[in-house]
């Protein structure tokens, strides 16, 4: 049995340990992380009315096949001013799968025991940062029509860290991580669709940031070894992608957004970050997707 199926048990038995944690207010731009639009906040930026200098202009749209499915009509007569998310209001939650990634940061990296296990070798030099960046660390493949208008994540990290200060002075141990999602969908293969974050065609996929990045710091006296374990979760706000965000964030037409949800979608979890004065870390990242 792969370790991903043991995630539920590991979450249930994880001890909750108090840590000094600071949620990142912006997108991580360190350790090779790539900037992406976060659709999980409710204030969507609008598309520019005219191209900026150097921005690639969309080509005329190719002739499209008939739309396979349209956004379902609202179930109740509510307005955006009342509930904001009119499209999913009153609809049942659809459970759309679970995936997990197991990332180890340690002095040496033995051969992994499962396909969803990853390792980064920690630099033993005191004070040196060790960075890590794992793309496609876990994935969920959704069939067409999986959801009506929204895809949400439940993101649950279980973090076990050993901070160590081998020096004769007080230092600060640091750990930070930044998850992002790569979303693949055939609608995004249309060359006339331009990714506003790059100015180039989507090429079949887009990258979205998540409001789940965290930063931890611990003050360490000389010679101290400190073990900590934390269990945390973030859940859906506006969704990591939605019919509304496809139109307002990414410039799709309502018909193209309809096609998006009528097509199969693959969601890939990427995790980057860094550690300093950490001698060992075991990071379990659980990703569950729900829709409407």
Backbone angles phi, psi at 5, to 5 degrees: -80, -10
Residue 142: predicted pLDDT: 97
Q: How many residues does the chain have?
A: 292
The C-alpha atoms of residue 114 and residue 206 are separated, in whole angstroms, by 28
Task: For residue 154, give Cα distances in angstroms to 19, 65, 232.
Answer: 21, 34, 11
Q: Which of 34-48, 119-133, 136-150, 219-233 has the lowest mean pLDDT?
A: 34-48
Residue 68: the pLDDT is 55
Of the candidates 285, 212, 205, the residue with the CA atom closest to the CA atom of residue 14: 285
| pLDDT tens-digit series, residues 239-275 | 899 999 999 999 999 999 999 999 999 999 999 999 9
Indicate whether 109 pLDDT > 50: yes
Residue-level pLDDT at 187: 97
114 C-beta neighbours (distance < 10 Å), count = 11
Query: Among 28-42, 58-72, 85-99, 249-263, which is the least confidently predicted range?
Result: 28-42
Query: Any idea what DSSP says for residue 195?
Result: -
Phi, psi of 269 (to 5 degrees): -90, 130
Residue 53 has pLDDT above 90, yes or no: no
Sequence-separated (6 or more) residues with CB below 8 Å from residue 242: 39, 85, 87, 88, 149, 150, 151
Name the more confident of 92 and 87.
92
Q: State the chain's mean pLDDT as an integer.
A: 80
Instruction: Please check whether residue 131 is in contact with residue 281, taking contact to mean a CB–CB distance below 8 angstroms.
Output: no
Hey, what are 272's tokens? 């980057």
Per cent of the chain over pLDDT 90 is: 59
274, β-bridge pairs? 131, 176
- Other beta carbons within 10 angstroms of residue 108's beta carbon come to 7
Q: Between residues 1 and 220, which one has the greater pLDDT?
A: 220
Cβ distance 278 to 217 under 8 Å? no
- Max alpha carbon distance in the chain (Å)? 70
Q: Cα separations (Å) of 118 from 1, 58, 107, 288?
A: 17, 39, 14, 19
Using CA atoms of 134, 139, 145, 151 in order, give the dihedral in degrees to the nearest 10: -60
Taking the CB of residue 179, how many other CB atoms lie within 10 A of it? 26
User: Any idea what DSSP says for residue 3?
Assistant: G
Q: What are phi and psi of 211, to 5 degrees?
A: -85, 50
């Amino acid at each position: 049995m792969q370790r991903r199926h043991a995630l539920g048990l590991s979450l249930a038995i994880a001890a909750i340990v108090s840590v000094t944690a600071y949620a990142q207010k912006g997108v991580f731009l360190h350790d090779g992380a790539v900037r992406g639009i976060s659709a999980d906040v409710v204030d969507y930026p609008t598309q520019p009315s005219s191209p900026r200098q150097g921005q690639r202009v969309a080509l005329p749209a190719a002739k499209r096949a008939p739309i396979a499915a349209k956004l379902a009509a609202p179930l109740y007569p509510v307005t955006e001013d009342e509930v904001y998310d009119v499209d999913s209001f009153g609809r049942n939650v659809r459970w759309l799968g679970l995936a997990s990634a197991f990332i180890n940061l340690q002095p040496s990296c033995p051969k992994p025991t499962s396909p969803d296990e990853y390792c980064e070798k920690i630099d033993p030099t005191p004070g040196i940062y060790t960075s890590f960046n794992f793309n496609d660390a876990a994935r969920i493949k959704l069939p067409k029509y999986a959801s009506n208008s929204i895809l949400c994540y439940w993101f649950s990290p279980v973090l076990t860290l050993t901070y160590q200060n081998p020096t004769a002075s007080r230092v600060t141990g640091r750990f930070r991580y930044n998850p992002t999602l790569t979303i693949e969908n055939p609608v995004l293969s249309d060359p006339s669709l331009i990714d506003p974050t790059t100015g180039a065609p989507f090429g079949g996929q887009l990258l979205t940031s998540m409001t789940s990045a965290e930063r931890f710091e611990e003050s360490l006296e000389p010679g101290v070894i400190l073990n900590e374990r934390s269990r945390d979760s973030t859940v859906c706000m506006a969704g990591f992608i939605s019919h509304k965000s496809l139109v307002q964030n990414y410039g799709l037409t309502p018909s193209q957004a309809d096609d998006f949800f009528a097509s199969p979608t693959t969601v890939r979890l990427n995790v980057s970050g860094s550690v300093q004065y950490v001698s060992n870390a075991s990071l379990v990242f659980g990703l569950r997707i729900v829709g409407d």
